[in-house]
A and B are shown apart, each in its own frame.
Chain A
């Protein structure tokens, strides 16, 4: 029966190859549609980046100019001079984002290791609560988080904001790290634990390197979430110099007398998009592994 099966599969394989060769027009159609769709998806990004580098006059021209007569950083300098500087906002966003990445990663590695390798009372409850957080949408908690931040003296603080971002990254991050530690071969971990004297010292000495793909995935997702977050920053930051980039952009967009410098806006959006798109290009496989880790199981 096995042999028969093998033959069936083999003949089916060659059969498929033959049909694929027989239908080049169909696969050409597929490639054509796919490429056109990909270009349509890329168009808004390209349009905006090009728009950011148009001279101010051309960026605000009506009807719009498809391609600039010359590339210019005028829009970026305009944005840098409005109220508080663009670089100040970039720095704010970068601070909140990097704090979030560091806090999320450290906290999730420790907690993931605990859940995967330690038996302690309340472990199941701890894991259930962290994952269960997903059932509660965080916009609903902002009303009272505002109050909590007042109590903790963390209003208008990028550090306070990053603590909140980190907390809401924990369900994914702890789950991811738990899976990473779980998927290490048991003998290896036990050997490391014996060599490393204790389970705690085995973590920095041996295990950390082994779960590094999981760590990169956790850091990547934390980065993208914190860099792009809008609502909590809108609610919890009230001083203009403290604003993160998306909030500052929203403000820059509604300029004096309802006039909008579209070039400056597009320059700002370009600065917002760039880090995430670059990280995506560099770290694609970690994106995928983040999604694979649960969606197939």
Chain B
């Protein structure tokens, strides 16, 4: 949901716009204290619930921090444990492949949908609204919804699959890793492509119509128009969509917790799921904190790489 902010991070606008608006104005005395007064509630929240836990996470990661009892310092052993635990390696590998598949499909489908519903046609608004509506549903209820649609006894999807001769009656789709993953990916795409589609549509709407008219006069075919005009001119919203999709997919938890519980045989444990198990099911919160720090580093690397890429192109 935080599409706009990433745009600002990508564009690197910072606070420049704010300064510009007040250029040349005279500043009353006490403006500084009034400014801080207004910003103080936000500062308190950010301090208590962001900066403090942020620092504390790093601190805790160097401790054996039991759920009950007093913590003891252990140096880097939590990190050594994480990097040598094959289960964490499997979780990273699974999350990376899941992110790769779901992101490529998600971005491609949202681009396709945006191009499909871009021109005017009767009922366009209703179609766009229906495509976007799943975005407003949470991942947890959406996961439970698809779980109830896919269960082997009462689910409608296995019933349809049986009627079409795809799978025999009573097949448990959650018994195999591949069919489980297909279901989770289909659910995720259903729930997320509407948002990406809308961001891309907004980007497309800002392209001046004259450019297309000129291209048409020059006899450009629709494929050339797409690859030479539309795609380059929506490079920024598109990279925003890629960044959002990749980061959100990488942090997937709700849909796996509700749909697969990490199964079958722990084959669908994502990195955040592993973090949840380590910190809240396991007994050493320090180990959970070390996993958290590793996740923060991975995410920062992804975001900074994306932002660099975008700035380099601009």
Contact = CB atoms under 8 A, between A and B. Distances in A.
Contacts of B11: 297
A38 B127 contact: yes
Contacts of A126: 39, 42-43
Contacts of B42: 107-108, 110-111, 126, 130, 170, 174
B contact patch SS: helix
Interface residues of A, number: 127
Nearest to A186: B21
Contact of A182 (B21, B34, B56): B21
Contact of B35 (A59, A114, A142, A170): A114
Interface in A119-145: 119-124, 126-131, 133-137, 139-145
Given A131-B9, A139-B295, A291-B198, A8 B214 contact: yes
Contacts of A53: none
Contacts of B226: none
B279 interface: yes
Contact of A249 (B25, B132, B140, B276): B140
A152 B1 contact: no
Contacts of B151: 260, 262
B92 to A, nearest CB: 14
A166 interface: yes
A223 B22 CA distance: 32
Given A131-B8, A136-B296, A230 B144 contact: no
A250 B3 contact: no
Given A34-B121, A140-B57, A60 B154 contact: yes
Contacts of B145: 44-45, 48, 266, 269, 273
Interface string A133-177: 111110111111111100010000000000110111011101110
Interface in A267-283: 268-269, 272-273, 276-277, 279-281
A134 B54 CA distance: 13
Contact of A235 (B146, B169, B280, B293): B280
Given A170-B42, A262-B151, A293-B4, A30 B35 contact: no
B295 A33 contact: no
Report the 9 A-B pairs with minimum CB-CB distance, sorted nearest first: A228-B138, A294-B4, A120-B35, A118-B35, A12-B213, A114-B38, A294-B7, A111-B42, A144-B56
Given A148-B53, A234-B257, A296-B202, 8 more contacts: A37-B116, A38-B127, A45-B145, A137-B251, A140-B296, A168-B50, A284-B129, A294-B6
Interface of B: 1-9, 11, 13-15, 17-18, 21-22, 25, 27-28, 31-36, 38-39, 41-43, 45-46, 48-54, 56-57, 60, 113, 116-117, 119, 121-124, 126-127, 129-134, 136-141, 144-149, 151, 153-156, 159, 162, 169, 190, 194-195, 198-199, 202-203, 206, 210, 213-214, 216-217, 236-237, 240, 247, 251, 253-254, 257-258, 272, 275-276, 279-280, 285, 288-289, 292-293, 295-296, 299-300, 303
